[in-house]
Chain A
């Protein structure tokens, strides 16, 4: 009964919708690029340098770990490149080369590879790396100090969130939300232009690559909690639009909180996760000691992800 033709056999199903990890990574990179380009346009060659070094070093760190661990080479799936790009986008344009290398080392190796590679990371690798950098190298992540040598044509030459923390809402009340939305503010090189980030985020949501529930809940969490603070005491707390358009809020909502392996997949957990992230970010900004709370808020919600994801619809056919 042996035929000469060699047929391929496999288990059902015999169709696949064609999605894959490389597609997801590369489309996320495409969605993030407009915001990165805005950073290059404002800060020039230093921003380009940080982005290039971060992407290149992230890929090399992963390659190194692939070789060291004698594991299949996984850099082709674009995940390392994406993490490098996002790490660069939250750094200031003046970040020195060693800071970028440490940042991508922390993101790729401490954030992902030691847990077993893609899909195994309990925390968003970029948020983890930046959190460690923020507590370790305060002055390099303080945008006022870091960007002091840049001549910027912005309405305010200081970090709006730092000004808010130091002097209260009166110091930032003349900032125009449209300027903030267009990225005319001091901040991370790719995380200040709300327009570009929102365009990228909407693209990803429409493609089904990120889960819209998380982003929308995160933004709603920031907006509602900031509004409540503002209503309670407008003299001490800034209005919600200000919180929405400054700092890492939008890059957090669209690119960091939505990272798949550290976020929940069921409907209600996604809403809880996103909303809690937004609320935590505003809490840290308004009553915490840190200037921007988004990074820590994302790490905190990464922690509760396994727990909230237990809230799920009952499987069919179960009697108990």
Chain B
């Protein structure tokens, strides 16, 4: 953890990891005894298709009900041993499907039959849950047509190597993924965003417009990229009216790989950062429990340590080492209990550190006063809540240790709920 320097005149500077030779090849994690996969749908009644004891094959599409669009892709061969409701972040109700693995992998053939010719429906049906979790929904939204697909190649947070590693080592798969996307959506404008230091590694090798962004944090955060490309940020209506769809490089690689091999990819590349800050790259089946990865790298977990999915600035802490890695888990960061910074309930003292570090010019000192009082709509109207690009730097420098970033996420979530409720009423 980087501390404030003695001379506090200049703010902290963080840089994303670049794709260097120092990043070794990933360690293959053995297939675990059980994997857990999430179907992002509430378990309302007993599923007619998925039951305990149902055999599944590697790459098989699992849905709760016939005709359901929301699915997960089995990453192993075995039998289902549990189906349970799961409460994810922000109160989202999902279904957790646990599969007891067998010794050998048997590939499912359904996708191979459906993959030719590639179509948007096939993408949505089979690849929405593949590693990198491409967001196909906006591409199918006819009311808000997408005119630009933006592939984010840079790493999603500090310390993480995953995204650039995949981009560097799977250029062919990324290229065929871009081709598939172009063919199925008819969108010509595909932009790939990479750190400016490594532009020359990609230009000419990839069949998309290369856009360089600074490798300084937070210029590769999705919202910052969006602002860089369009000059705008999503307002309370979200990203749909902007006509831009963001997809991670790893997802594009997965799409390319799926259509060229006829098999759905089921392995995720993950950066594991242990308590000493040593990084390991791993490849594991989606759904592998975190504990398995940590055991492989000899990371010991004690009471009151912290395990984080994602990076130090924007990740999310998890409550158990039995939780599985998801298709969007780029990194696992482990913090020892001695280095965990605690938040406080002190009020803002108006020191202004947050205002000076904010890359989006948000008046954080005023905004946080409104958010602390629960006045989210006023915060959005008067003090630029929607200009926040969610980098977390304000909380990082806060002398009062206010969880500012949490307040901002909560405010956006609450406003989102109010707006959706209003829309429901109108209909």
Contact = CB atoms under 8 A, between A and B. Distances in A.
Interface of A: 1-3, 5-21, 23-24, 116-120, 205-209, 211-212, 260-266, 312-319
B204 interface: no
A12 B405 CA distance: 7
A314 B387 CA distance: 10
A280 B301 CA distance: 61
Contact of A7 (B304, B392, B401): B304
Given A12-B314, A119-B348, A316-B361, A17 B397 contact: yes
B350 to A, nearest CB: 4
Contacts of A15: 1-2, 312-313, 341, 396
Contacts of B398: 16, 19
Report, nearest first, the 6 A-B pairs whose CB atoms are least far apart. Answer: A208-B8, A317-B233, A265-B352, A315-B387, A16-B341, A11-B406
B408 to A, nearest CB: 10
Contact of A118 (B233, B320, B349, B409): B349
A119 B349 contact: yes
B360 interface: yes
Nearest to B303: A6
A19 B399 contact: yes
Among B307, B386, B393, B399: residue with most chain A CB under 10 A: B399
Nearest to B360: A316
B322 to A, nearest CB: 5
Contact of A14 (B3, B308, B386): B308
B388 to A, nearest CB: 8
B306 A207 contact: no
A307 to B, nearest CB: 13
Nearest to A316: B360
B112 interface: no
Nearest to A210: B351
A319 B2 CA distance: 35
Nearest to A212: B9
Contacts of B340: 8, 10, 14
**Interface of chain B, main secondary structure:** loop
Interface residues of B, number: 77
**Interface of chain A, main secondary structure:** loop
A316 B401 contact: no
Interface in B231-251: 231-233
Given A13-B393, A14-B308, 6 more contacts: A6-B303, A8-B304, A8-B306, A17-B2, A20-B399, A266-B363
A13 B301 CA distance: 20
Given A15-B396, A316-B360, A24 B351 contact: yes
Contacts of B304: 6-8
Contacts of A21: 346, 349, 399-400
Given A315-B361, A318-B384, A318-B387, A16 B1 contact: yes
Nearest to A20: B399
Contacts of A10: 306, 317, 340, 343, 403
Contacts of B393: 13
Among A7, A21, A211, A263: residue with most chain B CB under 10 A: A7
A207 B409 CA distance: 31
20 contacts: A2-B320, A3-B322, A5-B320, A7-B306, A7-B319, A12-B406, A17-B397, A18-B4, A24-B351, A118-B346, A118-B347, A206-B8, A208-B7, A208-B8, A208-B353, A260-B349, A260-B352, A261-B349, A266-B352, A315-B360
A30 to B, nearest CB: 13
Nearest to B98: A1
Nearest to B348: A119
A47 B161 CA distance: 60
B137 to A, nearest CB: 23
Contacts of B365: 265
B180 interface: no
Contacts of A264: 352
A277 B153 CA distance: 50
Among A2, A10, A11, A118: residue with most chain B CB under 10 A: A11
Among B314, B352, B362, B392: residue with most chain A CB under 10 A: B352
Contacts of A211: 352
